[in-house]
């Protein structure tokens, strides 16, 4: 069967303890049925952010469709993992010509391109190497534009929460580069001379940015860069590499590589990450490290058309996109060392509704996508547990409200066992809130009011989608939707009888704050 569904998040431990072991609701023979499509389109389609309520049952409705935006970002991220063979690679002459056109008829300045490139490098680093685990960054900058990219990247990494250091031994005496140095000095970013660098870079730094030479370099590296490149070569050599070695990130071209032939001798730097700029250079085909990114979301259509470039789509608003699949990881080794303010009992609001409102406001202020997304866990009379993601559409002292199809599985569960658990998980804040209690339908008037506040497409979708029912294929659903569009063209859309809201009245609130070494804070309130 083909499902359209949402991601699950951890469910309530207390609810689990009260239930028998989970069983699969769908039987194996059902999964083998060919050309069968089960739709579970959730009823809340548009995001209606939840400000404080002026009065009970008074809802504020925003028409900003965050769900569509979030879906686009996620799909762009998935699609952003590009097949390296489907992307254009530039020769040295082509790369130079593109730069000339960008800075000539297309009106880009050197400092503008450098800023975009450096931001792309910093963004790519932040995608893979988190500042709480790879905090100390050394940017080794050469005298040209590649070195300028490294200076810009160091500045952005500072603002991303890293602790950057810069080694810039051959400073370029031009206003642009002087300004980049001044900007870093104003942030108290240390500049280290070659003599100040430790003999073993692996003891002092978590990330080394190789921003020495770019695609226009040719010849043999001269002092002091020859020795610095040798250090990077030794650190990237698996036979010489220490057990705890810093990640090496090369900007556009691993220093010492030929822009087209790459590391033909096999004795060059073998970076862990390569951030290609504008478009990958031909040598990038020889890159064998785990992380290849393309940075520089600024290539205009005239360049794409003239050079017949095949470039990947960038995810969301990101300045970088991954090329190739990410490396396989050991799932058991995935962990996050949370850094959060402590959740002290004396700081918790006396009323758990007020505490939830406080945390919800924090999630909104943090710019989280769909902070009102919650896992809803239910169990029917058979005590089989099921969970799914739904959207909170309002809350006050009377409870937490969401809307759905009254013939869906969750509705059947609630009719047999009118209790449920909600779980909000705000990853960026290291917080989750679990809420448990009895569930009842909201009034018909409330359901009518909310239904007609939704976009027309969402209203039609509620009629078209018979949740948890089997349909022939996806096209069938589209056809039903189109028929309903024609039927109600220009007129009001009636709320289906089998569609409406539920309200969970809390009996238990649990507020969880992630902390270091798994010593998490957990505050349970069931006395209100």
Distance, CA of 401 to CA of 58 (rounded, Å):
12
Length of the chain: 528
Contacts of 20 (CB under 8 A, 6+ apart): 383, 384
107 assigned to a ligand binding site: no
156 assigned to a ligand binding site: no
Structure tokens at 488: 């109600």
144 assigned to a ligand binding site: no
- The answer to whether 214 and 253 are in contact (CB under 8 A) is yes
466 assigned to a ligand binding site: no
Only one residue has tokens 């002292």, namely 397
Contacts of 284 (CB under 8 A, 6+ apart): 89, 262, 274, 276, 292
337 assigned to a ligand binding site: no
Q: Which of 171, 109, 162, 156 is nearest to 131 (CA)?
A: 162
- The answer to whether 372 and 356 are in contact (CB under 8 A) is no
Distance, CA of 487 to CA of 490 (rounded, Å):
9
Instruction: Tell me, yes or no, if 171 is annotated catalytic.
Output: no
User: Cβ–Cβ contacts within 10 Å for residue 301, how many?
Assistant: 8
Structure tokens at 275: 């951030």
214 assigned to a ligand binding site: yes
148 assigned to a ligand binding site: yes
DSSP label at 4? E
Determine how β-strand 163-167 pairs with β-strand 37-39: unpaired
At 522, which helix (H) or strand (E)? Answer: strand 521-525
293 assigned to a ligand binding site: no
147 assigned to a ligand binding site: yes
Considering the candidates 136, 431, 518, 522, report the single residue annotated as catalytic. 518
415 assigned to a ligand binding site: no
Determine how β-strand 431-441 pairs with β-strand 499-504: antiparallel
268 assigned to a ligand binding site: no
330 assigned to a ligand binding site: no
Distance, CA of 333 to CA of 323 (rounded, Å):
24
- The answer to whether 480 and 88 are in contact (CB under 8 A) is no
Helices of type H across 213-368: 225-236, 301-307, 352-365
Residues forming a β-bridge with 82: 323
Q: Which of 255, 294, 274, 230 is nearest to 141 (CA)?
A: 255
457 assigned to a ligand binding site: no
Determine how β-strand 431-441 pairs with β-strand 385-391: unpaired
Distance (Å) of CA 335 to CA 19, 332, 431: 28, 8, 15
Q: Can you list the positions of beta strands (E) in 310-445?
A: 320-323, 373-379, 385-391, 394-396, 399-405, 419-426, 431-441
Distance, CA of 68 to CA of 44 (rounded, Å):
12
Binding-site residue set: 145-149, 210, 214-220, 252, 255
Q: Where is the binding site for (6S)-NADPHX, in residues?
A: 145-149, 214-220, 252
Q: Which residues are annotated as a binding site for K(+)?
A: 146, 210, 255
Residues designated as active site? 518
């Amino acid at each position: 069967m083909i499902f359209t569904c949402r991601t699950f998040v951890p469910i309530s431990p207390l609810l689990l303890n009260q239930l028998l072991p989970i069983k699969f609701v769908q039987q194996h023979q059902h999964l083998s049925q060919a050309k069968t499509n089960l739709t579970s389109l959730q009823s809340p389609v548009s995001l209606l952010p939840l400000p404080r309520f002026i009065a009970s049952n008074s809802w504020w409705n925003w028409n900003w469709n965050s769900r569509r935006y979030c879906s686009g970002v996620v799909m762009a991220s998935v699609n952003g993992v590009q097949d390296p063979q489907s992307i254009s690679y530039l020769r040295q002459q082509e790369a130079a010509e593109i730069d000339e056109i960008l800075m000539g008829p297309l009106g880009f300045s050197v400092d503008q391109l450098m800023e975009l490139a450096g931001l792309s490098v910093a963004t790519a680093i932040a995608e893979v190497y988190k500042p709480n685990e790879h905090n100390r960054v050394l940017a080794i900058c050469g005298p040209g534009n590649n070195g300028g990219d490294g200076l810009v990247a160091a500045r952005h990494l500072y603002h991303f929460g890293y602790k950057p250091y810069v080694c810039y031994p051959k400073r370029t005496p031009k206003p642009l580069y002087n300004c980049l140095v001044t900007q870093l000095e104003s942030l108290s970013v240390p500049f280290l001379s070659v003599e100040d660098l430790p003999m073993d870079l692996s003891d002092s730094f978590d990330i080394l940015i190789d921003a020495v030479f770019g695609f226009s370099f040719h010849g043999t590296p001269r002092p002091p860069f020859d020795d610095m490149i040798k250090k990077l070569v030794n650190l990237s050599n698996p036979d010489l590499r220490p057990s705890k070695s810093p990640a090496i990130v090369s900007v556009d071209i691993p220093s010492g590589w030929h822009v087209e032939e790459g590391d033909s001798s096999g004795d060059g730097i073998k970076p862990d990450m390569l951030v290609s700029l504008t478009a990958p250079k031909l040598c990038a085909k020889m890159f064998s490290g785990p992380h290849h990114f393309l940075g520089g979301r600024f290539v205009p259509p005239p360049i794409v058309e003239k050079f017949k470039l095949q470039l990947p789509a960038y995810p969301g608003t990101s300045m970088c996109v991954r090329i190739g699949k990410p490396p396989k990881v050991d799932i058991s080794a995935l962990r996050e060392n949370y850094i959060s303010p402590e959740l002290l009992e004396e700081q918790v609001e006396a009323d758990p509704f007020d505490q939830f409102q406080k945390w919800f406001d924090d999630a909104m202020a943090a710019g989280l996508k769909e902070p009102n997304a919650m896992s809803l866990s239910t169990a029917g009379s058979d005590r089989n547990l099921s969970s799914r993601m739904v959207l909170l559409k309002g809350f006050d002292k009377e409870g937490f409200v969401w809307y759905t199809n009254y013939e869906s599985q969750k509705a059947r569960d609630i009719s047999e066992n009118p209790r449920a658990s909600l779980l909000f998980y705000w990853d960026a804040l290291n917080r989750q809130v679990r809420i448990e209690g009895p569930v009842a339908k909201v009034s018909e008037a409330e359901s009518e009011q909310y239904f007609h506040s939704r976009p027309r497409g969402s209203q039609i979708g509620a009629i078209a989608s018979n949740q948890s029912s089997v349909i022939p294929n996806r096209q069938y659903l589209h056809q039903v939707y189109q028929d309903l569009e024609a039927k109600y063209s220009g007129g009001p859309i009636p709320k289906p009888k089998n569609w409406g809201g539920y309200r969970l009245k809390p009996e238990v609130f649990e507020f969880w704050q992630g902390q270091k070494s798994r010593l998490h804070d957990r505050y349970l309130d069931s006395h209100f």
